[in-house]
Structure 1
Amino acid sequence: MGDYADLPGVRTWYETEGSGDPLVLLHGGFCTNDTWGAQRTDLAAAHRLYLPERRAHGHTPDVEGPLTYSDMAHDTVAFLEAVVGGPAHLVGWSDGGVVALLVALARPDLVRRTVVIGANFRPAPESFVVPEMLDAMTPDGVELAFFRELYEAVSPDGPAHWPAVATRVIDMWRTQPALEPQDLAGVRSATLVVSGDDDLVTLEHTAALYRALPDARLAVVPGASHLVPLEKPDEVNRLILEHLAGGEVETMMPVLRAPSREPFGGDTVT
């Protein structure tokens, strides 16, 4: 089921299904809700799903000015308040993961648990395996043909508006997000960081994201890329549902989670 919500920033298209604790799915850059097709059935069996399409994506119209993650996070906060009506779990993929982190920082009262998939906290030149890929991207090029088709099929702004959107999204990736590791210490929600082992975002950057978050878990899925929710849906869905179900992490030899940095939880080794 789909409908529009008249939010302060932009008239936003969203879809809902399922029942249970609210869970907001935040799609990737240039994407639509269709890209969550491999997750919706499993997640809706346990949660009430809300799937907003961000400004200039899918059925949601574009707005004047540059596209920024900050504005998209503000839109998401407004969506949580006006449509969801309170706190929810957030699952964000790629750009959606960036938005989820910003919402968790700005409004911890609206975020229960968080999952970020293939997300970065620094701009593409600092976090992508092949940052020069942005130089090859043009609105009419083959690299963006799949996304152009998604956009042209449903955008209320019409196919002719695609070049304006594509150019501004690529510009956003060049300079955003611009968080520092110490900024991420402000994320209070328990967060699962997911990546493919051959992700667009470097494993080093993903590890830095994981280590900077105060309450985090890390899952690197083998044999997967930036499209891991499509490539390994059963595994990704299981990871998401287990994380959202809660529970403390207990391991036999904690290091990052140890109450003390001394070996083996505090015993003195001589």
Structure 2
Amino acid sequence: MQPYLKLKLFLFTLCLVFSSGAYSQINYGSNNGKYLTIRGTKIYYEEYGEGTPLLLFHGGFGNIADFQKCIPELSKKFRVIIPDSPGLGRSEFPDQALSYQLMSDYYSILIDQLKLDSAYIIGWSDGGITGLILAHDRPDKIKRLLASGANYKSSGINQEVWDGALQTVFNPDWIQANWKDWIGNYKRLSPHGDWKRYVSEAPKMWLAKEYFPISELQSISIPVLVVMGDNDMVTFDHTIEIKSAIKNSQLCILPNTSHEVFNDKSELINKIATDFFAGK
């Protein structure tokens, strides 16, 4: 699939996720969850199920509802904990500019505040990148990581995708005209409602030349499952580079699947994740 078509498919899928009819019976991301105050910022999270803690980290422009198709099944086997990342969903914006290290630090503190002895992580897109940083920084807490659609530098996504994004999702006027559902959902959940701030700050994080050095991947010691769709926005070569850098890693490429792995193939990815966390 051509890179720009991958971006269009990604945008279309996000529109479906944020449209009112796309939500499941349980309104994930809109339930009566809890807040933690981390570095003066209120971070919202929801919990479902019992068992070994499993943290789910969503992607850019998203919130807890990114995993709405996966939570019901995963919560039968794990204590599923899903935070809204800083500036998205019901979580407040931090005082600092958004960065992957900042998000990882917030999640690291969340793990400590919840007094989790250990946890598994599923991270998608931005959440997968954050998960990789946590796998490096907190091997004392993170047992295993499934990282899907993750890149450690901006060149890991085809330049044509970035060029298309500059005309669309990086442009507030385009979002105002074409993403009314997303804006409405953002304002409904957000404690501040300033969606333009997110659209201004997030691309600076995404377009950074390098999010962290490859040496951090090379020093990850925990088991990592690197996942991508065969029509992912992250390039195959970059995904192989990440997999090759992490010593104790496996690679999973899902057929007929876009960047939106957890929407496209929720039943399959639930099974893959459960088997991986069981050491199969």
Superposition TM-score tier, normalisation by shorter sequence: 0.7 to 0.9
Q: Tell me the distance in 2 between the aligned counterparts of 1:196 and 1:185.
A: 23
Q: TM-score, normalised by structure 1?
A: 0.85
Could you report, residue by residue, the CA deviation over 1:218-244 in whole angstroms, capped at 9, with x for unpaired residues? 111010100111011111111111101
Look up the SS of the partner of 2:133 in the other structure: helix
One-letter amino acid of the counterpart of residue 233, structure 1: S
Instruction: State the SS of the aligned residue for 1:134.
Output: helix
| Counterpart-to-counterpart distance in 2, 1:87 and 1:243 | 16
SS in structure 2 at match of 1:140: helix
> Which secondary structure state, in structure 1, belongs to the residue aligned with residue 269 of structure 2?
helix
Task: Determine the C-alpha separation between the residues in 1 that align with 2:146 and 2:184.
Answer: 28
Corresponding residue for residue 227 of structure 2: 194
Equivalent AA in structure 1 for residue 136 of structure 2: L
Are the counterparts in 1 of residues 145 and 224 from structure 2 also a CA contact under 8 Å?
yes
> Radius of gyration: which is bigger?
1
Residues 19 and 44 of structure 1 are in contact (CA less than 8 Å); yes or no, is this contact kept in structure 2?
A: yes
Output the amino acid matched with 2:156.
Answer: S
Q: 1:201 to 1:145 in 2, by over 3 A?
A: farther
- Counterpart of 1:132? 163
Taking the aligned partners of 1:182 and 1:144, their CA distance within structure 2 comes to: 38
Is 142-151 or 193-202 further displaced after alignment?
A: 142-151
Which residue of structure 1 lines up, in the alignment, with residue 251 of structure 2? 218
1:64-103 mapped onto 2 (5 Å cutoff): 64-103=95-134
TM-score by length of 2: 0.82
> Structure 1: where are the runs of 5+ without partners?
248-270
Name the amino acid aligned to 2:33.
G
Quick check: 2:44–2:91 contact (8 Å CA) kept in 1?
Answer: yes
Specify whether residues 116 and 74 from structure 1 end up closer, same or farther in structure 2 by C-alpha distance, changes over 3 A only: same
Matched-pair identity in %: 28
Q: Does 1:118 align with 2:149?
A: yes
RMSD over aligned Cα atoms? 1.6
Q: Please, which moves more after superposition, 170-179 or 234-243?
A: 170-179
Is the 1:24–1:88 contact (alpha carbons within 8 Å) kept by the matching residues of 2? Answer: yes
Structure 1 segments (4+ residues) deviating >4 Å: 142-146
Q: What corresponds to 1:203 in structure 2? A: 236
Quick one: structure 1 residues 54 and 81, their matched pair in 2 at CA, closer, same or farther if it must change by over 3 Å?
Answer: same
What amino acid is aligned across from residue 58 of structure 2 in structure 1? H
For the pair 1:229 / 2:258, whether they are aligned, the reply is no
In structure 2, C-alpha distance between the alignment counterparts of 1:239 and 1:21, rounded to whole Å? 17
CA gap of 1:47–1:177, structure 2 versus 1, over 3 A, is farther
Q: Which amino acid aligns with 1:23?
A: L
1:154 aligns with 2:189: yes
1:9–1:216 CA distance, 2 compared to 1 (3 A): farther
CA contact (8 A) 2:43 2:84 kept: yes
